[in-house]
Amino acid sequence: MTLYAEVILSLPVSQAFTYIVPESFIDRAQAGSRVLVPFSQRMLTGFIIGLRKRGPTPGIPLKEIAEILDDEPVFTSSFLSFSRRLSDYFYSSWGELLQASLPPSFILKSQTRLSLTEKGTAALEDITLSEKERKILSFLQKRGYSLLFLKRRLQVKGLSALLSRLEKNGLVDTRRDIKRTKKKRTPLVTGSQAQLELDFSLDTLSRQTADRISTSIQGRSFAPFFLHGPADKRESVYFQLIKKSLEMRKKVLFLLPEIGVTQALREKFEKRLGERAAMLHSRLSERKRELEWLRIKEGEADVVVGSRSALFAPLDDLGLVIVDEEQDESYYQQESPSYDARKGAWLRAKGLGATLVYGSAFPRVSAFFRARKRGYLVSLEGEKERKKVEIIDSRRERRGISRRLAVRISERLKNKESVLVFLNRRGYASYIYCPECNSVPRCTRCDIALAFHKRDKSLVCHYCDYSIPVAVYCPDCGSRMTRSRALGVEAVEEELREIFPQSRVKSLATDLSRDEQENVLGCYNRGNIDILVGTQLLARQTDLRPASLVVILFPEIILTLPDYRASERTFRVVSRMMSFLGPGPDAEAVIQTALPGHFSIRLAASSDYRSFFREELNFRRLLNYPPFSRLVEILFQGENLRNLARQSRRFMERVKRGSADVEILGPGLAPVAKVRGRARVQVILKASRKEILDNALRDLMRTAGTKKTVLVYD
DNA sequence: AGCACGCCGACT
DNA sequence: GTCGGCGTGCTC
């Protein structure tokens, strides 16, 4: 009897393909194993998700599995169902998600190699060839090349068609080989038992909290918790819980934003857990990542610490999943395969009967709402510490740094105290313009003005990184272009240098390389910088030395963004900056803003998350935004707008026909209507429940060809 | 994703 | 009249 395998491939379609399992492989074929299969002209790595004795609908001629690559499945059945649910939830491809869960060397593919035949060599001499054909053949004269290389090198349109014609005429020889990466035997790292530090003190509230969650770990069934409180308190609870889980012989997955995965963190974990901790994050080299992955798979790590992608760590005996800094948007991977590791952690913990702990000082409104409503919110907030805050109305000010602010800063500098300044705008200015004719230099590929970066005398597109030297004369009317608008961190840095020429002023933004960033932060932490100016990058830091003065400039910039979460983002960034205030009655924050009355700024200034939450929730309720609805944003991207418009409208019509319960906004141009030369059209769908959206979209995702990006907000 | 098939504009 | 552009559909 024939055995059939359902195989998932890493393609943008979430569809299984059926293959025949050859007689000789029958006892090795298992769900969760990698296979090599022929797929149209190539060989691809796929994953068996099921085996069955009956074939599918007759009529499709089936191919055979070429090779089974694993003796032991790389994926357990629970991992398969978890990843499947995740891909369903975010409308992303299951196969791509599975592929992303493995070290890259686990994926084998055929590579097409092309070489010249004798007939081909002869053809170069006499037969009349087209210009393109001659170009290809003479290029292959020296030696054979891979198809990919040829494509990149020759830049000939319709290359594959030309090549297949040449092959048919016997001028070119095509060979498809499987690219194999040599598998080195991994030396097993045997851990030396370091001196462990398993003793940590907790205050009463934290102790009670830890005990309560511990009970759930003991229960060995899924239970979620949301820890609301400051970082230090959360951390001590986490370690208590990790200890508990390890006592139960259950493993731990600890997720945190990429920015938090630091050397200091590694040392912290090693000190407390010895060699039983593994780290997974995107800054590891491919090889290091693979080694860590293998260690985890072999069961040699009890705690896996890592960023977003560590969600896919190969462990099944999980007792505890922690997602710290829950509010951090870097948990959401927007590129394909897109997924949100926060939701992923929920699905994984649920599937394995593990305890799930989210933690944040300033949670997302939706997450906080749900935790409260469903009774899994745990507050670690102690006595609210009133912080000294001054709000300066910038509408009456001329300069970026107002007089009053300058006075505040100089007081601190006199006492040799350091100052942190936040401004959410990169570069020197958002744009420059000609005072004569008002023309503004714009990106040629994106629908946006070029930002002025004075440091490297250039105009830079913040969407595609296109950059040109800054113009001295207006390209339109020839007059001198000197005006800038919407000042950024570079301008503030410059202004501060002018006002305080004796002080050491530095700025921190993503324009700096990672090394430079580390360097600036190190300098600041050692006390070698007096004033540090930074963007969101500064606000997201975890190990920053407290300052006695924190300045927050124009937080309302975030409020103007076209995002229904603008208020919570503003609240968060202001609160976050204020959390860098040192202890004591002397520490002070100054907020300089054009919207001093806005509730997100006002309530952040008074460190009142609960009131902010209430007010914001009210808006969300009135306008039917999450958590009171579920929202999906679909972004169509393509070369020509006409086609996009047609597709998006057809798409929208089909949604409308499919379900009456979906509210459709759009299609319309996306806030940035063109990026990298590709037009962007967006449609927003709203429904009371996610399942309604799922039903409406299920069949549509496959069709309507153009590239679509789907973002899920809940 | 890659690739083949099929229908409308600028040219040997 | 063809060549070739990309819009559409399929791959077990």
Q: pLDDT at residue A570 above 80? A: yes
- Residue A156, CB, strand C, below 7 Å: no
Q: In sequence order, what are the beta bridge partners of A19?
A: A5, A63
Distance A687 CA to B1 C1' (A): 32
Q: Which band of pLDDT confidence, cut at 50, 70 and 90, is reported for residue A186?
A: very low
| Whether residue A586 is found in the same domain as residue A689 | no
Percentage of chain A lying above the pLDDT 90 cut: 55
- Which residues in chain A, range 93-152, keep a C-beta under 7 Å from any nucleic strand C atom? 130, 132
| Whether residue A317 is found in the same domain as residue A225 | yes
Q: pLDDT at residue A202 above 80? A: no
Per the domain annotation, does A289 fall within a domain? yes
- Residue A56, CB, strand C, below 7 Å: yes
What span, in angstroms and rounded, lies between the C-alpha atoms of A40 and A659? 36
Distance A45 CA to C11 C1' (A): 14
Distance A9 CA to C3 C1' (A): 36
| Whether residue A78 is found in the same domain as residue A138 | no
Distance A466 CA to B11 C1' (A): 36
Residue-wise pLDDT tens digits, A166-185: 776 677 777 777 765 544 44
Per the domain annotation, does A508 fall within a domain? yes
Mean pLDDT of A644-649: 81
| Whether residue A270 is found in the same domain as residue A350 | yes
Which protein residue has its CA closest to C1' of B4? A161
| Whether residue A83 is found in the same domain as residue A132 | no
Mean pLDDT of A303-310: 96
pLDDT of residue A193: 45
* Residue ranges near strand B (C-beta within 7 Å): A 11-13, 40-42, 112, 147, 160-161, 164, 336, 707
Which stretch of A161-165, A252-256, A371-375 has the lowest confidence by average pLDDT?
A: A161-165
CATH code for the domain of A673 = 3.30.70.600
Per the domain annotation, does A135 fall within a domain? yes
Mean pLDDT of A667-692: 89
Strand A377-379 relative to strand A223-228, pairing: parallel
Residue-wise pLDDT tens digits, A273-294: 877 899 999 888 999 999 999 9
| Whether residue A409 is found in the same domain as residue A372 | no
What span, in angstroms and rounded, lies between the C-alpha atoms of A401 and A499? 9
- Residue A639, CB, strand C, below 7 Å: yes
| Whether residue A235 is found in the same domain as residue A367 | yes
Q: Which band of pLDDT confidence, cut at 50, 70 and 90, is reported for residue A653?
A: confident
Distance A42 CA to B12 C1' (A): 36
| Whether residue A18 is found in the same domain as residue A102 | yes
Q: Which nucleotide is nearest to A61 (CA to C1')?
A: C12
What span, in angstroms and rounded, lies between the C-alpha atoms of A295 and A498? 54
Q: For residue A117, what is the DSSP state?
A: -
Q: pLDDT at residue A385 above 80? A: no
Q: Which nucleotide is nearest to A336 (CA to C1')?
A: B1
Percentage of chain A lying above the pLDDT 70 cut: 91
- Residue A66, CB, strand C, below 7 Å: no
Q: Which band of pLDDT confidence, cut at 50, 70 and 90, is reported for residue A191?
A: very low
Better pLDDT: A520 or A700: A520
- Which residues in chain A, range 619-638, keep a C-beta under 7 Å from any nucleic strand C atom? 638
What span, in angstroms and rounded, lies between the C-alpha atoms of A321 and A303? 10
Q: What is the mean pLDDT of chain A?
A: 87
Which protein residue has its CA closest to C1' of B1? A11
| Whether residue A373 is found in the same domain as residue A405 | no
What span, in angstroms and rounded, lies between the C-alpha atoms of A62 and A602? 66
Mean pLDDT of A641-647: 79
Mean pLDDT of A4-33: 94
Distance A624 CA to B12 C1' (A): 62
Distance A635 CA to C6 C1' (A): 21
Per the domain annotation, does A468 fall within a domain? no
- Residue A40, CB, strand C, below 7 Å: yes
Number of domains chain A is built from: 5
Q: In sequence order, what are the beta bridge partners of A210?
A: none
| Whether residue A244 is found in the same domain as residue A298 | yes
Q: pLDDT at residue A325 above 50? A: yes
Measure CA A20 to chain center.
38
| Whether residue A96 is found in the same domain as residue A243 | no
Q: Which nucleotide is nearest to A63 (CA to C1')?
A: C12
A498 φ, ψ (degrees, to nearest 5): -65, -45
Q: Which nucleotide is nearest to A40 (CA to C1')?
A: C11
Among A620, A642, A663, give the residue marking a domain's end. Answer: A620
Distance A136 CA to C3 C1' (A): 19
Q: Which nucleotide is nearest to A642 (CA to C1')?
A: C7
pLDDT of residue A630: 95
Q: pLDDT at residue A97 above 80? A: yes
Among A344, A379, A414, give the residue marking a domain's end. Answer: A379
Q: Which band of pLDDT confidence, cut at 50, 70 and 90, is reported for residue A188?
A: very low
Per the domain annotation, does A437 fall within a domain? no
- Residue A649, CB, strand C, below 7 Å: no
Per the domain annotation, does A686 fall within a domain? yes
pLDDT of residue A547: 94
- Residue A57, CB, strand C, below 7 Å: no
Distance A339 CA to C5 C1' (A): 36
Q: Which residues of A186-195 are buried (b: 16+ CB within 10 A; e: fewer)?
A: eeeeeeeeee
* Helix H or strand E segment including A367: helix A365-373
Q: How many CB atoms lie within 10 A of CB A198?
A: 12
Q: pLDDT at residue A346 above 70? A: yes
What is the CA angle A223-A229-A234, rounded to 5? 65
Q: How far is CA A264 from CA A192, A259, A538, A543, in A?
A: 20, 12, 18, 9
Better pLDDT: A658 or A210: A210
Distance A390 CA to C8 C1' (A): 61
Report the candidate in A321, A304, A322 with the shortest Cα–Cα distance to residue A313. A304
Q: Which nucleotide is nearest to A93 (CA to C1')?
A: B1
Better pLDDT: A6 or A140: A6
Q: How far is CA A215 from CA A356, A621, A702, in A?
A: 13, 35, 45
| Whether residue A585 is found in the same domain as residue A701 | no
Distance A623 CA to C9 C1' (A): 41
CATH code for the domain of A271 = 3.40.50.300
Distance A163 CA to B7 C1' (A): 23
Is the peptide bond between A469 and the residue preceding it cis, with omega within 30 degrees of 0? no
A674 φ, ψ (degrees, to nearest 5): -150, 130
Report the candidate in A307, A349, A85, A306 with the shortest Cα–Cα distance to residue A213. A349
Ramachandran class of A475: left when φ > 0, alpha when ψ lies in -120 to 50, beta otherwise? alpha
Q: pLDDT at residue A501 above 80? A: yes
Q: Which nucleotides of C are covered by protein (CB under 7 A)?
A: 4-12
Q: Which nucleotides of B are covered by protein (CB under 7 A)?
A: 1-4
- Residue A157, CB, strand C, below 7 Å: yes
A36 φ, ψ (degrees, to nearest 5): -105, 125
Q: What is the residue range of A127's domain?
A: 117-166
Q: pLDDT at residue A568 above 90? A: yes
Better pLDDT: A585 or A241: A241
Which protein residue has its CA closest to C1' of C10? A40
Per the domain annotation, does A532 fall within a domain? yes
CATH code for the domain of A82 = 3.40.1440.60
Distance A125 CA to C2 C1' (A): 27
pLDDT of residue A651: 81
Distance A17 CA to B4 C1' (A): 20
DSSP structure string for A467-498: EEEPPSB-TTT-SB--EEEEE-HHHHHHHHHH
pLDDT of residue A684: 92
- Residue A38, CB, strand C, below 7 Å: yes
pTM of structure: 0.91
Residue-wise pLDDT tens digits, A114-132: 777 777 777 767 666 666 6
Per the domain annotation, does A672 fall within a domain? yes
Q: pLDDT at residue A190 above 50? A: no
Residue-wise pLDDT tens digits, A386-440: 789 999 998 887 778 888 888 999 999 898 889 999 999 999 999 998 888 888 8
Which protein residue has its CA closest to C1' of C3? A158
pLDDT of residue A706: 63
pLDDT of residue A116: 75
Q: Which band of pLDDT confidence, cut at 50, 70 and 90, is reported for residue A147?
A: confident
Q: How far is CA A552 from CA A532, A539, A573, A588, in A?
A: 12, 10, 9, 11
Residue-wise pLDDT tens digits, A426-472: 999 999 988 888 888 999 888 899 999 998 899 999 998 889 998 88
